[in-house]
């Protein structure tokens, strides 16, 4: 088995005096099983990680599935379904040129593909001979083309697909984690996720969380700028083909065509929609993940014709598309408030599916409808909020890979809305998920990117929220000094806030109760039990009953602090209160808080309070 490489995703090493952070990157029933591999839609063998057939020359490493590797094939073998004989395949000049540009050796490229495979739970054992075969025209199977494309994307700093490398088309290795190049592409990506995330057994909920997938979206958001145009009013915006118009002579009479000649044709494509490659600017590739058709709006590309050609203006937008107004956007915002209240009170599992169905049936037609620039920006902002909430509820039920992808798409929609503050809030949400899953350094980086991206002009409450998120990351990795510094900054920023300050609706939850809760969590992670208990008790005194799940979390933090101080009976009393609240909601996070507390009770099994709590927890199905 190849040695695990050092990647750009640092791991959190537990301190000797602290228990290791549990792996929550997959639902509970998936953690012991090997990670799921990417699917290969073109391969009859099924998932890339399927078990090797008997007699396979290599066996999978423990805990990771075995890739059905094409390089075990002899050079003269004919692959099933290949229309060309092996010796007639042409050299892959595209791949050769990119290898030279990237400065890879054959062995170096193979090693990087193997390393990327490890990040995705695959045991790949490619070598320089494998690369030679790829250059001779052999097509790697399964997810390997996407992995190779991702290796070159990281090295060269530009997005490359498998097709750009002369390889067979393949779903991107980070499907759903792409930071779309245009609003139209963003709509295609996120709407595809909504459609697939339906039903009680959606495969999307089994996707693993990928720490390496946090880097590119946060970077693209930080250095990117708002889209020039999101409006969909003209036929150009909507991708509607213009009918061919006859050229006119200077006097106005139709121009004659020689017998047998083909009349001039419009350069517009005959179809539009996802994958047609329609853009809103010169030479822009379109949605659908391909290179696009390069259709722009300039002269000679089917755009607004000048008087020199004699063509008439383009036709009006087609009928049947929904015209979006301010009332529609307000309705989307109201729906977000409703689902947010349900999530806070009853957990993400109660109404998540209803939220996804609303996004699919109502939000997508609006995004593909007709709207001016101002309405379009507001609409993208409202849908960004609902998409973040879809990710948040997925996170609460333990579907962490799916949640991560919703967060990334929400970040892209926020950029289309030109809402920098909300983009920062999405990054803070991603930071909180990273903390929960034990990735403290990544959490700190995300919080700092959010701070840098919104700047010093952000409202004081928003600044406090971002500093608190950074503090949580520092606390997780045991950096008490940096944690304290960030907490002090958060406290000062919140103290500077005034009741009359203009504040986004999504930031109003961050008040004195929430700040005390953040302090309590940080001190819990630092194992400073007395201040942890003090801040947890203060948060519970100040916290509104409408935030029932947050109260469950805080009571469990208080129980942990009491246990750390040796107050076993008081700890079990607080945990029992939290258990009552958790039993009334559908939140895997609430269950995980209590399970983690239960594990800490092992040295006290003979205590009557401990036995009573464990009996109640067993009865509630928590442990």
**pLDDT tens per residue, range 586-622:** 999 999 999 999 999 999 989 999 999 999 999 988 8
**pLDDT, position 158:** 86
The dihedrals phi and psi of 562, each to the nearest 5 degrees, come to -60, -40
Of 110, 190, 199, 121, nearest to 151 by C-alpha is: 110
DSSP 240-292: PPPPP---B-TTSPBPP--TTPPPP---S-S--STTS-B-SSTT---SSSS--
SS3 assignment, position 529: helix
**pLDDT, position 298:** 37
**pLDDT, position 397:** 94
- Per-residue three-class SS string for 114-165: HHHHHHCCCECCCCHHHHHHHHCCCCCCCCHHHHHHHHHHHHHCCCCCCHHH
d(CA 227, CA 16): 49
Check whether 206 has a pLDDT greater than 80: no
Exposure pattern of 395-420 as b/e (b: 16+ CB <10 Å)?
A: bbbbbbbbbbbbbbbbbbbbbbbbbb
Pair 590, 395: CB distance under 8 Å: no
Banded model confidence at residue 476, pLDDT cuts 50, 70, 90: very high
Banded model confidence at residue 26, pLDDT cuts 50, 70, 90: very low
d(CA 563, CA 19): 15
The alpha carbons of the chain give a radius of gyration, in whole angstroms, of 28
**pLDDT, position 120:** 66
Residues 60, 64, 70: CA angle, nearest 5 degrees: 50
**pLDDT, position 281:** 37
Exposure pattern of 174-211 as b/e (b: 16+ CB <10 Å)?
A: bbbbbbbbbbbbbbbbbbbbbeebeeeebebbbbbbbb
Token pair 């722009």 is found at: 296
Q: Where are the domains of the chain?
A: 28-165, 175-239+321-418, 441-498, 511-623
SS3 assignment, position 370: strand
> Domain 511-623 is in which class?
mainly alpha
In sign, the C-alpha dihedral spanning 180, 182, 188, 191 is positive
| pLDDT, the chain, mean | 78
Pair 367, 187: CB distance under 8 Å: yes
Banded model confidence at residue 173, pLDDT cuts 50, 70, 90: low
**pLDDT tens per residue, range 535-544:** 999 999 999 9
d(CA 464, CA 515): 8
Region 473-497: mean pLDDT is: 97
Region 579-584: mean pLDDT is: 93
Query: Which parts of 347-419 fold into alpha helices (H)?
Result: 352-358, 364-367, 373-396, 400-416
Region 88-94: mean pLDDT is: 78
Exposure pattern of 522-558 as b/e (b: 16+ CB <10 Å)?
A: bbbbbbbbeebbbbbbbbbeebeeebbbbbbbbbbbb
Region 5-25: mean pLDDT is: 44
Region 166-188: mean pLDDT is: 83
């Amino acid at each position: 088995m190849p040695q695990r490489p050092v990647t750009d995703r640092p791991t959190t090493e537990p301190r000797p005096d602290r228990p290791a952070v549990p792996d929550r990157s997959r639902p509970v029933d998936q953690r012991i099983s090997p990670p799921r591999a990417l699917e290969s839609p073109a391969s009859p063998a099924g998932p890339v990680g399927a078990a090797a057939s008997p007699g396979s020359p290599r066996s999978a490493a423990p805990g990771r599935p075995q890739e059905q590797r094409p390089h075990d094939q002899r050079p003269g073998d004919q692959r099933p379904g290949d229309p060309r004989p092996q010796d007639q395949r042409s050299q892959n000049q595209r791949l050769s040129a990119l290898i030279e540009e990237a400065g890879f050796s054959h062995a170096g490229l193979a090693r990087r593909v193997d390393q990327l495979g490890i990040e995705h739970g695959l045991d790949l054992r490619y070598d320089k001979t494998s690369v030679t075969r790829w250059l001779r025209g052999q097509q790697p199977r399964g997810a390997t083309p996407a992995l190779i494309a991702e290796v070159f994307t990281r090295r060269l700093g530009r997005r490359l697909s498998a097709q750009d490398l002369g390889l067979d088309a393949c779903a991107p290795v980070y499907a759903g984690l792409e930071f779309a190049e245009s609003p139209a592409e963003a709509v295609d990506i996120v709407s595809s996720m909504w459609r697939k995330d339906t039903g009680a057994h959606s495969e999307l909920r089994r996707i693993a969380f990928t720490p390496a997938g946090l880097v590119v979206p946060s970077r693209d958001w930080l250095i990117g700028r708002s889209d020039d145009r999101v409006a969909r009013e003209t036929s150009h915006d909507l991708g509607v083909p213009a009918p061919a118009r006859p050229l006119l002579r200077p006097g106005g009479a139709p121009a004659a065509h020689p017998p047998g000649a083909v009349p001039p044709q419009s350069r517009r494509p005959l179809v539009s929609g996802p994958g047609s490659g329609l853009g809103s600017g010169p030479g822009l590739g379109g949605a659908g993940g391909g290179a696009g058709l390069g259709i722009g709006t300039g002269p000679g590309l089917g755009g607004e014709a000048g008087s020199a050609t004699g063509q008439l203006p383009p036709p009006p937008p087609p009928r049947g598309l929904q015209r979006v107004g301010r009332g529609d956007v307000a309705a989307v915002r109201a729906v977000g408030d409703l689902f947010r209240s349900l999530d806070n009170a009853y957990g993400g599992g109660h109404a998540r599916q209803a939220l996804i169905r609303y996004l699919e049936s109502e939000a997508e037609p609006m995004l593909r409808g007709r709207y001016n620039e101002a309405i379009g920006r507001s609409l993208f902002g409202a849908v960004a909020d609902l998409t973040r909430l879809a990710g948040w509820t997925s996170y609460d039920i333990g579907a962490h890979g799916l949640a991560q992808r919703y967060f990334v798409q929400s970040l892209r929609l926020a950029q289309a809305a030109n809402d920098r503050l909300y983009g920062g809030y999405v990054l803070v949400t991603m930071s909180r998920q990273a903390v929960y899953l034990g990735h403290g350094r990544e959490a700190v980086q995300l919080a700092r990117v959010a701070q840098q991206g919104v700047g010093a002009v952000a409202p004081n409450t928003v600044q406090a929220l971002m500093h608190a998120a950074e503090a949580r990351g520092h606390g997780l990795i045991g950096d008490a000094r940096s944690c304290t510094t960030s907490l002090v900054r958060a406290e000062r920023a919140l103290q500077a806030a005034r009741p009359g300050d203009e504040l986004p609706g999504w930031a109003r939850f961050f008040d004195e109760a929430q700040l005390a809760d953040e302090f309590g969590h940080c001190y819990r992670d630092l194992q400073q039990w007395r201040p942890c208990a003090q801040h947890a008790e203060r948060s519970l005194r100040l916290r509104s009953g409408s935030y029932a799940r947050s109260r469950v979390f805080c009571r469990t933090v208080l129980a942990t602090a009491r246990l750390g101080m040796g107050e076993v009976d008081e700890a079990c009393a607080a945990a029992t209160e939290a258990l009552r609240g958790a039993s009334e909601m559908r939140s895997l996070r609430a269950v995980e808080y209590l399970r983690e507390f239960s594990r800490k009770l092992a040295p006290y099994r003979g205590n009557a309070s401990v036995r009573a709590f464990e009996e109640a927890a067993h009865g509630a199905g928590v442990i």
